[in-house]
Amino acid sequence: MASLHPDNGARVVLERESAGEAGARYRVTVYEPDAVTYWTLAQLGDEVSIDEWSAEPAPWIAVFVERLLKSHAKKHAGGPWPRKVTRWREER
């Protein structure tokens, strides 16, 4: 099985923990090169709230995750919430 850790940039994985009429709760895991991994939980619905990170991500990663979550919430509002979403981004 291939590693989720990229050679560069960061890979973000959203894994749905629960879903209902009000939205969904996702575990957000960030994988960076050199086996660096950290995570948080996020509630998506009319608004997006992100819990405290296990370790503070680089600012560009935090911005990417926030934008990804907001886009995901808007796209799936009122509809089915995907079980898992994986995205990669190079450092900016």
**pLDDT score at 2:** 64
Enter the tokens of residue 13: 């994985």
Mean pLDDT to the nearest integer, 40-45: 96
Tally of domains within the chain: 1
Q: Is 55 helix (H, G, I), strand (E, B) or coil?
A: coil
Mean pLDDT to the nearest integer, 49-66: 95
| Residue 5 falls inside a structural domain | no
Pairing of strands 48-50, 36-44: antiparallel
Enter the tokens of residue 56: 């503070």
| Residue 4 falls inside a structural domain | no
| Residue 61 falls inside a structural domain | yes
Mean pLDDT to the nearest integer, 37-59: 95
| Residue 3 falls inside a structural domain | no
Cα separation, 60 vs 18, whole angstroms: 27
